[in-house]
Structure 1
Amino acid sequence: MPEFLVTFVGLLLRVLEIAIIGRALISWFDPLFRNPISRFLYDVTEPILRPIRNFMPGGVMIDFSPLVALIILWIIERLFYSAVAG
């Protein structure tokens, strides 16, 4: 596999991880996502978090979907790098 593609996929996964962590942190201070930065993070991460949230049980006061998304991204990253190395 071309090195550029491996680097690009790795960078994309890392940026998504940072965006999810950033969204989780910003949601404590701007829960309605009115700030342009928080709105951008919401728009980037919501397509990833919404399907996870739909599968999780309702009635929980803490949103664990960012944690689940990070775990899934880490698994995808490990599988990708092991497939490339392998």
Structure 2
Amino acid sequence: MNGLSTAAVYVIQTLGSLYLLIVLLRFVLQLVRADFYNPLSQFIVRATSPLLMPLRRVIPGFGGIDLASLVLAILVQLLLMIVTLALLGFGFGGNLLQLLVWSLIGVTSLFLKIFFFALIVSVILSWVAPGSHNPAAQLVHQICEPLLAPIRRFLPNLGGLDISPIFAFIALNLLDMLVIRNLAAMTHMPQILSPFM
């Protein structure tokens, strides 16, 4: 592998992963019923609409879940993997099913990472800017709240100290270690194909 193909893989994976993140954020925002009038939500909607709108004509939502954005995320991940393998000189040998499984694993890993990093930002904001009305802070709170609310119901009242993020971190890490990484190992998924693993 020469330096030019390495640079091309880096650029394509960086830009493709950024777009994949935006597409998956759109799925997450609809899943958690976030405020779509938030400026950051509006950016995500505008960035994903050109590819998502045609897909929505074919794939309807189901039970409040935006299946079209989830399918788009899987397709973007699949395309990224195919292009990466081609640039590295590996053919996928027509094994589209294996690439599809790897795409599902990659998208699921990124899905967990979104919640993980949203929790980190939420904890930091609770220390430095509690009750902030910044659009980014509100969006992070809306992403984290559906994950933290069920945990808070089982925790005793600690006088204003919220330790629910600790249990959420543990649950997300266990899912990543026991499910995602094991699936990646069982399917022999190369590390280069998913920068989020």
Give TM-score, length-normalised by structure 2: 0.41
- Show structure 1 runs of 5+ residues with no match: none
Q: Name whichever of 1-10 and 67-76 sits farther off.
A: 1-10
Aligned to 1:12: 111
Aligned to 2:90: none
Between the aligned partners of 1:27 and 1:57, the Cα distance in structure 2 is 20
Aligned counterpart for 2:134 among listed residues 23, 35, 38:
35
Give TM-score, length-normalised by structure 1: 0.88
Aligned counterpart for 2:150 among listed residues 51, 64, 81:
51
Q: CA RMSD in A?
A: 1.5
Aligned counterpart for 1:65 among listed residues 164, 170, 178:
164
Structure 1 or 2, whichever has the larger Rg, is: 2
Give secondary structure in 1 for the equivalent of 2:119.
Answer: helix
Between the aligned partners of 1:56 and 1:72, the Cα distance in structure 2 is 15
Following superposition, which runs of at least 4 residues in structure 1 exceed 4 angstroms of deviation? none
- Show structure 2 runs of 5+ residues with no match: 1-97, 187-197
Between the aligned partners of 2:162 and 2:143, the Cα distance in structure 1 is 17
8 A contact 2:105–2:183 mirrored in 1 = no
Q: Does 1:24 align with 2:91?
A: no
8 A contact 1:53–1:65 mirrored in 2 = yes
Work out which structure has the larger RCO, using CA pairs closer than 8 Å and 6 or more positions apart in sequence.
Answer: 1
